[in-house]
Amino acid sequence: MPKKGYHHGNLRQALVDAALQLIEVRGPMGFTLSEAAKQAGVTPAAVYRHFDGREALIAEAAEQGYAIFADLMDYAYQSGQPSALKAFEATGRAYLAFARKYPGHYIAMFESGISINRSPELSQVANRANAVLEKAATDLSQHIPEDKRPPASMFSAHIWAMSHGVVELFARNSPGRASPFPPEDLLETGIGIYLRGLGLVQPDD
């Protein structure tokens, strides 16, 4: 049902919320600005007071998603302290949890084609999310033998890619991609194999 009664002060967010619902159901290219306006209970002309097009609306949804994502990743990192290993593993699980809980944001961030360099604000918040995973990787890399230690940025990129792959293939209801194992188990065991391959010994702390 369209949401009625939005006043000027929260119309922008009402449009973002409407877009998130449409993105989740139809995908980032499956709706028009007019449909987003109708979902928010306003006229199409009202949209252009806040966004110059659909891409700008999706970019705002992505920016808000990255802010939530960064906060969740940081919370996961802190929850694993003082163990560097537990903190690192928690950030991987947080990726999967975010995709499940915020599918509209996730799609806007990773499946819409919106570049994180579209605006300084979007780039900044996206980099903040990545920095949490890289920080966790930096902590953990200190426990890896030096001759097997990849750069922390590579280390974190590997885990990000693994997390993203599990989400895309097995946690987003992709047709024909049913897994005999829960996505959480796939990610957990994959990270474990990766870390063992690096010669990681679990820290005592």
Q: pLDDT tens, 28-70?
A: 888 888 899 888 888 888 888 888 888 999 999 999 999 999 9
Asked, for residue 205, whether it belongs to a domain, the answer is no
Is the torsion defined by CA of 56, 59, 64, 65 positive or negative? positive
pLDDT at 9: 56
Using DSSP's 3-state secondary structure scheme, residue 143 falls into coil
Cis peptide before 82 (omega within 30 of 0): yes
- pLDDT > 70 in the chain, percent: 89
pTM: 0.84
Least Cα distance to 43 among 13, 6, 1, 17 occurs for 6
Residue 92 CA to residue 76 CA, distance in Å, equals 9
Which domain covers residue 117, as residue numbers? 58-197
Q: pLDDT tens, 126-167?
A: 999 889 988 988 888 887 777 778 888 888 888 888 888 888
Residue 65 CA to residue 125 CA, distance in Å, equals 9
* Same domain as 168, residue 77: yes
Looking up residue 8, the CATH number of its domain turns out to be: 1.10.10
Instruction: Tell which wins on pLDDT, 145 or 115.
Output: 115
Average pLDDT, stretch 90-102?
89
Cα(first)–Cα(last) distance of the chain, in Å?
52
pLDDT at 204: 43
* Same domain as 63, residue 102: yes
Asked, for residue 41, whether it belongs to a domain, the answer is yes
Average pLDDT, stretch 187-203?
76
Residue 126 CA to residue 120 CA, distance in Å, equals 10
| Structural domains in the chain (count) | 2
- pLDDT > 90 in the chain, percent: 28
Asked, for residue 185, whether it belongs to a domain, the answer is yes
